Chains A and B, each alone.
Chain A
């Protein structure tokens, strides 16, 4: 098998994650879809690392994880405070900022 297939898989997963972001309403699901997209990107990094025989890709993937962890912490806190005031986790309900 050609290791290129990992890249195709990463592309498919990224696309599916994007689709989830666009069509799901629950904020937590949207968040999980974003995690999926980040993971797909990580897979691509690791594959490229293998392609070039250098570990830099893995380091970048490692940093991606760090940033993802920070993002999850803050994002979930936001979801909780929104939920406290609106009693809803739907991203469509918070639509006051508009025309």
Chain B
């Protein structure tokens, strides 16, 4: 089934599309403008805006569900943003199966995390500001996924970047948080440059930003141009989704409050790159080369993130490495083309559930452990935090892909699709995906064992308070439970009668892949691999106690602790190189350009300074010069006329 893009004007219920965005936007505006006056009820307003948005999203979803498959595509034109002759940019929203899925994920997980944050941020004096930023993020992210043209998508893209920056640096009194925010912003800029150039290229190629002309015209455009646009889109996706080589910011972004890590840096914003690639499927369908690069990036990142996840002792950073790795899976799937798009989105949704749940669980653990993030200081917490333990455990089972939890349904499909790619590349990608599953099982087991099992390794915090682990308040537990339910059931629901494939295929297209290995065999192999990972982790962390101070470790461990030297590489090549380059430029500017400019100006200044003395203000001097000039003129005239 090939996708087509032919929306009709949104009327009736579908005219509510804009309100999905306006609600959180209004919430952010009120909280921002209202200032301290809204401190008392600001968090409630924030939650109400998110939940209201979710309700609207659900209404739209059911309205779409009532329509036949081919008619689930609506455009709502709001107003013309830039009405210049020869150049038009519209603000308009596009509602279809793909965007409604995102709307539900964003507003649903967003609402849960809003509720969770009410308790998590209770003792923070800037809680109202926090909710303002969260609402702002929701609005921007919804603009991103609902935009009907790439320019508006880009605006949303930058909006989520801003919200991410504000929220990572929310505790800006901590230098590490402020630096992390800046790092995230700057690394994202690199990707955003790619996206912006891609948008410009689209305009020059198709004469429009809108999805319609671009996606419908891609098949008849030049393949070289499409490859260029595809690679630039991939660069944008790499920045936003923390894919290799722009992955360095995500681990530092864990400096932000944990709900932020759960919402932005696990469930929604970092998956925007996947959305971008899947939404632009028409472009990637034309260019196999661009798709190949996408799969390579995905494969590298899924290994990269998983290896980092194995070595981190910081629970949030271990989960962040995992996020990177899982998004690598999605990018890999998106690069596989029509056989993978649907599974990329499906894994994205299931991942949104279980990773948000895992992060909220991590936040709950930290809440009980005096905000200590080092897993080596945990241990034996399952008795003290039963709810957290259970929900975290369910998320854990989902992420490593144990049937029938949701990760199993989506990740297995990706591994199958990777093998189904065919040829050498199919084998390499498939093996990488399998290996990723092994490592994922290892590091997630390690996290669970170190946190909830074993013996107490608790240490007092800097002020000497002994940790007193306790279950978090119900307002934090409820979202965890809801997400855990999602982690358990989502995969099965999506796969029941191919519901998800049928839902999305009108947008993304779908073709059944044919794996060179028997599907049943592959599933068994996958489960065996996962079991191996669990077993190896149990040998290392279950049968023996993890030491409170990290051992030196092998070379590989040390490299993984250093984020596989990503930061060191950036610093060596870009920072030092940039410094040398700027120094050379400064030298050239000072001596060369300034020298010429200053020389000319000094010469002019000096000569005019001398010349202006002629302007003495004495009338008689002027009279003399006039008279002398007249004399010379007469003499000259006489000479010329003979």
- Interface residues in chain A, defined as those with a beta carbon under 8 Å from any beta carbon in chain B: 18, 21-23, 25, 91-92, 94-99
Say whether B612 faces chain A, with CB atoms less than 8 Å apart: yes
**A91 adjacent to B620 (CB under 8 Å):** yes
List the B side residues contacting A25 at CB < 8 Å.
Answer: 620
List the A side residues contacting B618 at CB < 8 Å.
Answer: 91-92, 95
List the A side residues contacting B554 at CB < 8 Å.
Answer: none
**B624 adjacent to A95 (CB under 8 Å):** no
Complex CA gap A18/B628 in Å reads 11
Smallest beta-carbon distance A76→chain B, Å: 16
List the A side residues contacting B619 at CB < 8 Å.
Answer: 91-92, 94-95
Say whether B617 faces chain A, with CB atoms less than 8 Å apart: yes
Say whether B607 faces chain A, with CB atoms less than 8 Å apart: no
Complex CA gap A43/B420 in Å reads 116
Smallest beta-carbon distance B612→chain A, Å: 4
**A95 adjacent to B617 (CB under 8 Å):** yes
- Within 248-301 of B, Cβ neighbours of A (below 8 Å) are at none
- Within 584-642 of B, Cβ neighbours of A (below 8 Å) are at 612-613, 615-620, 623-624, 627
List the B side residues contacting A18 at CB < 8 Å.
Answer: 627
Smallest beta-carbon distance A88→chain B, Å: 13
Smallest beta-carbon distance B633→chain A, Å: 15
Smallest beta-carbon distance B618→chain A, Å: 5
List the A side residues contacting B623 at CB < 8 Å.
Answer: 21-22
New contact pairs (14) apart from A22-B624, A91-B618, A99-B615, CB-CB < 8 Å? A18-B627, A21-B623, A21-B627, A22-B620, A91-B620, A92-B619, A92-B620, A95-B616, A95-B617, A96-B617, A97-B617, A99-B612, A99-B616, A99-B617
Q: Binding site of B, secondary structure by majority: helix, strand, loop or mixed?
A: helix
Beta-carbon nearest neighbor of A97 in chain B:
B617
List the A side residues contacting B620 at CB < 8 Å.
Answer: 21-23, 25, 91-92
Beta-carbon nearest neighbor of A98 in chain B:
B617
**A22 adjacent to B616 (CB under 8 Å):** no
Complex CA gap A92/B622 in Å reads 11
Chain B: interface residue count, which band? 10 to 19
**B616 adjacent to A98 (CB under 8 Å):** yes
List the B side residues contacting A94 at CB < 8 Å.
Answer: 617, 619
Smallest beta-carbon distance A32→chain B, Å: 15
List the B side residues contacting A98 at CB < 8 Å.
Answer: 615-617
List the B side residues contacting A96 at CB < 8 Å.
Answer: 617
Complex CA gap A13/B615 in Å reads 30
Complex CA gap A91/B616 in Å reads 13
| With A91-B619, A92-B618: A99-B624 Cβ-Cβ less than 8 Å | no
Smallest beta-carbon distance B629→chain A, Å: 13
List the A side residues contacting B617 at CB < 8 Å.
Answer: 94-99
List the A side residues contacting B616 at CB < 8 Å.
Answer: 95, 98-99
**A22 adjacent to B627 (CB under 8 Å):** yes
Q: Return the 4 tightest CB-CB contacts between A and B, nearest first.
A: A98-B617, A95-B617, A99-B612, A99-B615
- Of the listed residues A22, A94, A97, the one surrounded by the most CB atoms of chain B closer than 10 A to its CB is A22
Complex CA gap A22/B618 in Å reads 11
List the A side residues contacting B624 at CB < 8 Å.
Answer: 22
Beta-carbon nearest neighbor of B628 in chain A:
A22
Complex CA gap A23/B578 in Å reads 69
Complex CA gap A57/B347 in Å reads 109
Smallest beta-carbon distance A26→chain B, Å: 11
Complex CA gap A98/B612 in Å reads 8
Smallest beta-carbon distance A78→chain B, Å: 12
24 A–B contacts from the bound complex (CB under 8 Å): A21-B623, A21-B627, A22-B620, A22-B623, A22-B624, A22-B627, A25-B620, A91-B620, A92-B618, A92-B619, A92-B620, A94-B617, A95-B616, A95-B617, A95-B618, A95-B619, A96-B617, A97-B617, A98-B615, A98-B616, A99-B612, A99-B613, A99-B615, A99-B616
Beta-carbon nearest neighbor of B609 in chain A:
A99
List the B side residues contacting A91 at CB < 8 Å.
Answer: 618-620
Beta-carbon nearest neighbor of B614 in chain A:
A99
Smallest beta-carbon distance B123→chain A, Å: 69
Complex CA gap A97/B619 in Å reads 10
Beta-carbon nearest neighbor of B619 in chain A:
A91
Complex CA gap A99/B618 in Å reads 11
Complex CA gap A73/B619 in Å reads 20
Smallest beta-carbon distance A81→chain B, Å: 16
Smallest beta-carbon distance B257→chain A, Å: 65
Smallest beta-carbon distance B617→chain A, Å: 3
Complex CA gap A25/B620 in Å reads 8
Beta-carbon nearest neighbor of A92 in chain B:
B618
Beta-carbon nearest neighbor of A94 in chain B:
B619
Complex CA gap A99/B621 in Å reads 14
Smallest beta-carbon distance B398→chain A, Å: 84
Smallest beta-carbon distance A50→chain B, Å: 24
Complex CA gap A21/B617 in Å reads 16
Complex CA gap A20/B612 in Å reads 26
List the B side residues contacting A95 at CB < 8 Å.
Answer: 616-619
Smallest beta-carbon distance A37→chain B, Å: 11
Complex CA gap A95/B619 in Å reads 8
Complex CA gap A60/B612 in Å reads 40
Beta-carbon nearest neighbor of A96 in chain B:
B617
Beta-carbon nearest neighbor of B616 in chain A:
A98
Smallest beta-carbon distance A90→chain B, Å: 10
List the B side residues contacting A23 at CB < 8 Å.
Answer: 620
Complex CA gap A95/B620 in Å reads 10
Smallest beta-carbon distance A38→chain B, Å: 15
List the A side residues contacting B627 at CB < 8 Å.
Answer: 18, 21-22
Complex CA gap A18/B619 in Å reads 14
Beta-carbon nearest neighbor of B613 in chain A:
A99
Complex CA gap A92/B617 in Å reads 8
Smallest beta-carbon distance A14→chain B, Å: 11
Smallest beta-carbon distance B252→chain A, Å: 60
Complex CA gap A22/B627 in Å reads 9
